[in-house]
Structure 1
Amino acid sequence: MYLIDSIRESVSNFKIKDSTLIANAHFNIGELFRYSHKGDSAYYHYHQAQKIFKIQNEDYKLAKTLYGLAVILKNEKDLTASELVSIQAISILEDLKQTNEVRETKAFLFNNLGLVFSELEQYKESIEYSKQAISLKETLKGDYSLSIYNSKNNLARSYKMAGQYELALQYYTELLEDRELIKTKPDTYALILDNYAHTLYLSKQFNELPDLYFKALHIADSVNPKGYNSILINQHLAEFYKDKKNIDLAKYYATEAKNISAQYHNDQLLSSLLLLSEIETGDKAVNYLHSYIKLSDSLQKNERELRNKFARIQYETEQIERENVQIAKERMWLFVISVSLIITSFLLYLVITQRNKNRQLQLIQKQQEANEEIYNLMLSQNEKIEEARALEKKRISQELHDGVLGRLFGTRLSLDSLNFNNTPEAVQTRSQYIDELKNIEQDIRKVSHELNTDFVSGAGFIDIIKTFVETQTIIYKLDYKLDHDSVINWDELPNKTKIHIYRIVQESLHNIHKHANATRVDISFTLKNNVICLTIEDDGSGFDNTKSKAGIGLKNIKSRINDINGTLEFKSEINKGTQLIIEAPIT
């Protein structure tokens, strides 16, 4: 029982995921209970193993489990159920590869069917199944001699019970001729010898009786004194002496059979009580008969209760299984609903996030459009200012040229006319005034010429760039250097090109602040072959050109360069900064 308790405890410790181990444990416990003649406990564990093996499609193990159930049902006199379970197991084995193990189990099932039909007194079917069991066992690899002896003994018994005594004696004789049997399995030999003697008795061949009975009883008692085989032998001796009218010996052996059977099996106790009721007379016979009837009723009641218990075990197990199935379905639906909610929430999150991103991008786009509009207004205002400055310079130039210079020229002519006064003082004075007027005239002409020259033309864009760079580098805490070629005529560039250059500088400074961890930036504008070259270089952390993925800022820069038919080149190394080189054609 300790071993059974240990295995049962191990079952409770197994995880559900290891179903095969659980089924094997149930099967092993069922086997132990079967050999311990605890039918209800064996039935429960066999039934548990059967369900799991069926789910796991373990057909061979399922068939072996059904064999155990069939034996239990036969032992508990539920013969019809035992027959059905045995046939079910054989049907499963028929579809499997016919290995030695499969054929062995099939042979045991045929043997069980032989015993079932023998109990049902359907001896023709019993003989047929016993023959099939023997035929299969004789083909098995290994030592199955004892199992074959048992099957032949069962076959001979069926022949005996069917009244075919010659065939029964033929099989018994064949078994008894094996002299190794009495050495290896004396208890089996004693049982066969008793059946042989009983067949002789039934066929009215009394020459060797009762000596064969005594020999069988002696062998049985030498192996297991007062054992189960002794019950049958004592019963047969009682029948023999009853038939011979030796009532005292008949009573003696019948009483021995009753006393021994009281310790073992109720069926044999029932047979012993019936035999004593037939041997005894008067009140004793009546008492034995009453005991027989009472025991018979009790056995029938126990058999019904046991069958009901089997049915209840099966019903409760199936009910638990149905509940488990329902729980599994509920869990599955809960899982499906949970997953659906999670997926729906995730999709909703993606939609909301994408909408926010779209709104943010739209806002950025609108900001860019507003910045471009502001910049265009700045350029337009700057052009208007420059135009007003030019007009004002032209007006002043014209005013100086046409007004002041004209009057001065007239004054100079007047002074020249007074030059006819030839006194030395007058001549000297006039000459001084005339020279002074000439000087004034030259100065005014020079101013007029300088005012009429547009020497600041195109300087507005660089001023905007310089102001922006100064502002941003202060915010970003960067040192900067801004160089530009004075020969670049920014007025020749379309506003679109200047806007893109302005935005590229803006985006570059933003990226340097955000990603480069730089302390200084150098910006230069040069003119080469009618192409403006913009170089932006920082002393930041740099990056690997071959591995880094372009962000939105870099993509925007590339898009702007493509829009003005320019080129873009990056030079960067880890911890050595980054250099951005842009070439934009003027036309």
Structure 2
Amino acid sequence: MKFNFLLLLAFSFTVCFSQNQDKVKLDSIYFYMSSSKDISKDLNTKLEHLLKAKELSYDIDRKDLVLRINMSLSTLYFSLKNSTQYTKINHESLRLSSKINDSLSMALASKNLGYYFYDKSIDSAYFYNNKSVNLFKSLNDKFNTAVVLLDIALLQKDDKDFTGSELTSINALSLLNELEETNDVRKYKSFFYNNLALVFKMLEQYDESIEYNLKALSIQEKLEGDNKMTIDNQKNNLGNAYKESGQYGKAIDYYNEILKDKKLPVQRPGFYALVLDNYAHTLFKTKQLDQIPNLYFRALNICDSINDSYKSIVIHQHIAEYYFENNNLDSAKFHAYKAKHLSEQYYNDDLLKSLLLLSKIEKGDIAAEHLNAYIKLSDSLQKSERRIRNKFARIRFETDVLEQENIQIAKERMWLFIISVVVIMASFLLYLVVTQRNKNKELQFIQKQQETNEEIYNLMLSQNESIEEARTIEKKRISEELHDGVLGRLFGTRLSLDSLNFNNTPEAIKTRSQYIEELKKIEQDIRKVSHELNTDFVSGSGFIDIIKTLVETQSLAYKLDYQLKYDDDIHWDNINNKTKIHIYRIIQETLHNIYKHAQATKVDISFKLKKGVICLTITDNGSGFDVNKAKSGIGLKNMNSRINEISGVLNITSEIDKGTTVVIEVPTA
């Protein structure tokens, strides 16, 4: 009971200590997370603090905190332009959130991965974006659903899936219309309007394109904060829609609004070159050639200065058109071939336009060769676009199937959890029943042992009564011996000496001498009786007598020859009854085991006193056994239990076919 209490105390202390440790670590985690949001700290310091917080979160097994920290790390790695760690941390979040069934974290990680793969792998980008959309829908998070749908709509537009991009944008706008008109909601509405404007421009539906451009611009002009960059971009798109629709005046007005910003060439040189080229091309369309081709070359020089070869493709095409229009074929060919050479790096619509332009500028077979290349590339791009559209549909289908599988897995996990809880509870109840049954058996054993100990104690008391009775009888015998024998002889001798006291004859002297010898004999008899009285013939023999009785009785029953030796220096009267009872029971158990297992014919039992320790040795000549294999036997367990109760030591040595020796050492005090 005391041991159980100490064990419970130690367990409670360990739990409390562990909880305190976890509390300290949790405080440190929140400190590091808070510190990582401090705008005064540099990015590397923030990174260091977040990594420490993540390590501590793993230490206390707080996966929810790990996911929160991973989201912050993802943003930080994006700011540091560490794409390797950015993808790694989001893949880790995806695995971890899937393991603990955290749909929100799964959605956010998928969203980040979709954004990362946007301009690297269309398949991966579409897969992760579609997965994220389905997760956000399941969470009824309409805003984030719309945010991810924007990426999907842009992917569809870039790969000429204009119908798909239009439907995705309208679907997203319907979600945003259900939300409160916050600044972020209005901002994303403008993004979708802009995408629809670009889609309809590519479909050559310019009226619709202008309409959506105006809607996007109207929202952007009312947004909070500095939105000049976004507004300039929208005005450029609107100018392009007006230009393509033939409304050149309105197009020029919007381009001029952008170009009047004197800081633009320094702040956004690439965008400035793009707008300048659009403005120059519109002037070319309207035959306002005073500043042409100087504006083209000015835009081209800016692109060259910032090493932006992509934007220079269109400028070279426009210059080639200008020279071709003015019959300067050499310059037209130079710039047309330059545009073709640059666009071959991208293998897209710009290459198509360059090939078509060369087919017009060149003559004969060369023109036909460029035209065939144009037709061949056009067919290839159309097949590729069709294949991508089909792939989008397949990925969307596979993602939906995967989501359904995830739902099914979630249900299976739920049932597995329920079954596990039931099994654990049933196991716990079974454990309680078994434990209680074992406790009952243990209590019964202790009760039986107590009854046996009482029986032995009563036997010892009975033996002591027998000894006391023998002592009384012996004292009576000696008393009678003294009274009837010694005293009678003394009285007779005294009378005879009195009668001879005054007679000095030789016969009297001889007679006196005989009586003196008789007195000597009487003296010896008295000394003998005195010695017998002085020696307690049963001193210390009570317990040994009980042991003798036990050994004689069991040896006779078990047909064993025995030898019992004991040290008279052991004062058994000073040994407590508990120790004597357990020694008695151990001898009894050992003799029983010898009879039952050893097939022995002889047993030697000895008691010795060594430095205040009683050494009991029991040796038999039986078959012996493997001590290691027998350690789990109930007999040895009982013996060990008894030895432990009296703070003793038990040592058993045995050899096969040579016998067994049991040595027990018990302190006297």
- Bucket of the pairwise TM-score, normalised by the shorter protein: 0.5 to 0.7
CA distance in 2 between counterparts of 1:338 and 1:7 reads: 32
State whether structure 2 residue 374 is matched by structure 1 residue 292: yes
Q: Which amino acid aligns with 2:333?
A: K
Residue 302 of structure 1 deviates from its aligned partner by 1.2
Question: Is the Cα contact below 8 Å between 2:94 and 2:109 reproduced in 1?
Answer: no
How do 1:214-253 and structure 2 match up within 5 A? 214-225=297-308, 227-253=309-335
Query: 1:187 pairs with 253, 258, 270, which one?
Result: 270
Q: Corresponding residue for 2:96?
A: 14
SS of the residue corresponding to residue 306 of structure 1 reads: helix
CA distance in 1 between counterparts of 2:208 and 2:120 reads: 27
SS of the residue corresponding to residue 15 of structure 1 reads: helix
CA distance in 2 between counterparts of 1:249 and 1:42 reads: 42
CA distance in 2 between counterparts of 1:45 and 1:341 reads: 38
Question: Is the Cα contact below 8 Å between 1:7 and 1:29 reproduced in 2?
Answer: no
Query: 1:117 pairs with 200, 223, 239, which one?
Result: 200
Q: Which amino acid aligns with 1:27?
A: K
String of CA shifts for 1:19-70, please: whole Å, max 9, x gaps.
2122111111211222x35322211111111111111122111110011110
Question: Is the Cα contact below 8 Å between 1:26 and 1:45 reproduced in 2?
Answer: yes
SS of the residue corresponding to residue 224 of structure 1 reads: coil
Residue 177 of structure 1 deviates from its aligned partner by 0.8
CA distance in 2 between counterparts of 1:152 and 1:314 reads: 34
Distance 1:15 1:32, change over 3 A: closer
State whether structure 2 residue 287 is matched by structure 1 residue 204: yes
Residue 175 of structure 1 deviates from its aligned partner by 1.0
Q: Corresponding residue for 1:75?
A: 158
Distance 1:4 1:276, change over 3 A: farther
CA distance in 2 between counterparts of 1:322 and 1:58 reads: 19
State whether structure 2 residue 170 is matched by structure 1 residue 93: no
Residue 336 of structure 1 deviates from its aligned partner by 7.5
Q: Which has the larger radius of gyration?
A: 1
Q: Which amino acid aligns with 1:316?
A: E
SS of the residue corresponding to residue 263 of structure 2 reads: helix
CA distance in 2 between counterparts of 1:132 and 1:253 reads: 37
Residue 337 of structure 1 deviates from its aligned partner by 8.4
CA distance in 2 between counterparts of 1:111 and 1:19 reads: 31
SS of the residue corresponding to residue 142 of structure 1 reads: coil
CA distance in 2 between counterparts of 1:265 and 1:174 reads: 34
Question: Is the Cα contact below 8 Å between 2:97 and 2:105 reproduced in 1?
Answer: no
String of CA shifts for 1:381-411, please: whole Å, max 9, x gaps.
xxxxxxxxxxxxxxxxxxxxxxxxxxxxxxx
Question: Is the Cα contact below 8 Å between 2:94 and 2:110 reproduced in 1?
Answer: no
Q: Which amino acid aligns with 1:18?
A: D
* 5+ long unaligned stretches in structure 2: 1-82, 429-669
Q: Corresponding residue for 1:51?
A: 134
Q: Corresponding residue for 2:523?
A: none
State whether structure 2 residue 349 is matched by structure 1 residue 256: no
Query: 2:403 pairs with 301, 307, 321, which one?
Result: 321
CA distance in 2 between counterparts of 1:312 and 1:8 reads: 24
Q: Which amino acid aligns with 2:307?
A: N
Query: 1:26 pairs with 76, 96, 110, which one?
Result: 110
Residue 301 of structure 1 deviates from its aligned partner by 1.4
CA distance in 1 between counterparts of 2:318 and 2:285 reads: 10
How do 1:172-183 and structure 2 match up within 5 A? 172-183=255-266
Distance 1:251 1:193, change over 3 A: same
How do 1:77-476 and structure 2 match up within 5 A? 77-225=160-308, 227-329=309-411
What is the root-mean-square deviation of aligned Cα atoms in Å?
2.4
Question: Is the Cα contact below 8 Å between 1:86 and 1:109 reproduced in 2?
Answer: yes
Question: Is the Cα contact below 8 Å between 2:149 and 2:172 reproduced in 1?
Answer: yes
Question: Is the Cα contact below 8 Å between 2:150 and 2:172 reproduced in 1?
Answer: yes
Distance 1:207 1:37, change over 3 A: farther
Residue 87 of structure 1 deviates from its aligned partner by 0.9
Question: Is the Cα contact below 8 Å between 1:11 and 1:26 reproduced in 2?
Answer: no
CA distance in 2 between counterparts of 1:194 and 1:5 reads: 38
Residue 343 of structure 1 deviates from its aligned partner by 11
Question: Is the Cα contact below 8 Å between 2:255 and 2:275 reproduced in 1?
Answer: yes
Q: Which amino acid aligns with 1:295?
A: L
CA distance in 2 between counterparts of 1:78 and 1:342 reads: 55
CA distance in 1 between counterparts of 2:104 and 2:319 reads: 51
String of CA shifts for 1:190-219, please: whole Å, max 9, x gaps.
100100111111112212111111111111
Question: Is the Cα contact below 8 Å between 1:255 and 1:276 reproduced in 2?
Answer: yes
Question: Is the Cα contact below 8 Å between 1:39 and 1:76 reproduced in 2?
Answer: no
Q: Which amino acid aligns with 1:321?
A: E
Q: Which moved more, 1:334-343 or 1:316-325?
A: 334-343
SS of the residue corresponding to residue 231 of structure 1 reads: helix
String of CA shifts for 1:529-584, please: whole Å, max 9, x gaps.
xxxxxxxxxxxxxxxxxxxxxxxxxxxxxxxxxxxxxxxxxxxxxxxxxxxxxxxx
Question: Is the Cα contact below 8 Å between 1:241 and 1:250 reproduced in 2?
Answer: yes
Question: Is the Cα contact below 8 Å between 2:300 and 2:312 reproduced in 1?
Answer: yes
Distance 1:4 1:289, change over 3 A: farther
Q: Corresponding residue for 2:28?
A: none
Residue 264 of structure 1 deviates from its aligned partner by 2.9
TM-score where L is the length of structure 2:
0.49
Residue 13 of structure 1 deviates from its aligned partner by 3.2
CA distance in 2 between counterparts of 1:110 and 1:156 reads: 15
CA distance in 1 between counterparts of 2:145 and 2:272 reads: 34
Question: Is the Cα contact below 8 Å between 2:87 and 2:116 reproduced in 1?
Answer: no
Question: Is the Cα contact below 8 Å between 2:299 and 2:315 reproduced in 1?
Answer: yes
Q: Which amino acid aligns with 1:305?
A: R
Q: Which amino acid aligns with 2:332?
A: A
Distance 1:23 1:338, change over 3 A: closer
Residue 334 of structure 1 deviates from its aligned partner by 6.9
Question: Is the Cα contact below 8 Å between 1:274 and 1:292 reproduced in 2?
Answer: yes
Distance 1:296 1:4, change over 3 A: farther
CA distance in 2 between counterparts of 1:338 and 1:95 reads: 42
Distance 1:4 1:263, change over 3 A: farther
String of CA shifts for 1:225-268, please: whole Å, max 9, x gaps.
5x111011000001111111111111110111111111235111
Q: Which amino acid aligns with 1:206?
A: L
Q: Which amino acid aligns with 2:115?
A: E
Q: Which amino acid aligns with 1:95?
A: E
Question: Is the Cα contact below 8 Å between 2:193 and 2:212 reproduced in 1?
Answer: yes
CA distance in 1 between counterparts of 2:229 and 2:407 reads: 46
Distance 1:11 1:277, change over 3 A: farther
String of CA shifts for 1:344-383, please: whole Å, max 9, x gaps.
999xxxxxxxxxxxxxxxxxxxxxxxxxxxxxxxxxxxxx
Distance 1:23 1:327, change over 3 A: closer
Distance 1:272 1:180, change over 3 A: same
CA distance in 2 between counterparts of 1:3 and 1:122 reads: 43
Q: Corresponding residue for 2:436?
A: none
CA distance in 2 between counterparts of 1:265 and 1:229 reads: 15
CA distance in 2 between counterparts of 1:330 and 1:215 reads: 66
Residue 134 of structure 1 deviates from its aligned partner by 0.9
SS of the residue corresponding to residue 166 of structure 2 reads: helix
Residue 224 of structure 1 deviates from its aligned partner by 2.0
Distance 1:256 1:345, change over 3 A: closer
